[in-house]
Structure 1
Amino acid sequence: MSPPEQPRKFFVDRSLGRVAVPGLLRAAGRDLITLAEHYGVPEDEGVADACWIEESARRGWAVLMKDKRIRYRQAEIDAVVEHQARCFVITRGDLTSAEYAERLIANQVAVFAASDTPGPFIDAVHTDRLERLRPRR
């Protein structure tokens, strides 16, 4: 089965790395830009989460990230809500780069469908499904 049509570009946060995960996602046909590519190195290390969330939402980029505590970080939640961001987060911190990429690829149909809907939202990406973390349904 061929992958679904890709609706838009994805923004990859520094939490998923600059090389391995983005490379695997690109090899699977995803169109994305990393935080480091967008802001440059080493400037990317100093960009506040609320700033890149705002920028990605303004540009229409859905966000891919890894952050087990995102549901508790009020500044990031506020930025997602205020800027109508669409975020997909892996809440596990103990996976390999290949496992992070595989989780996103395995859920690509659900991610693409959700990324076509208006924000704001933060969806957790599990091995076999998405789970809405914010706003609660």
Structure 2
Amino acid sequence: MIGLWNTHAQVFLLWLAVGTTLVFALPIFCVPLTWARLMGWAIPAETHLAIYFGRCLGAFILIVEVLMLRAALTGEALLATFEVLGAVAAMMIVVHIHGALRRIQPLSETLEIGFYGGMLLMVLLFWPGLS
């Protein structure tokens, strides 16, 4: 199963980079509280910390987006980028399961368990270099 579609790894990265940049990275980086409201989060009266953490998270997502875009367009660091994406997906599954079990997140965040599970599966299916 791992690397079953490895010949299409760069195309997968390009589509993943475009989609996650538009849906997650840019909104969280530029307008974190607007994004949070759309996702169903209650916004506290004091928002400075939430904005700070949102922009920090958005910045790290943008770094991963650049890694994906570079690997997709040039093939450079392709395997390392897939390793990062596998780690991101696995850790985000843990984060979202934890929030779901504690019942401290909106339904949209709990549903992201499926998104990150699917992302991890796709990363494994497109894993490069296993022909």
Q: Would you say same fold, with TM above 0.5? A: no
TM-score normalised by the chain length of structure 1: 0.29
Q: Which structure has the highest helix share of the two?
A: 2
Query: Which of the pair has the greater relative contact order for Cα pairs under 8 Å at 6+ separation?
Result: 2
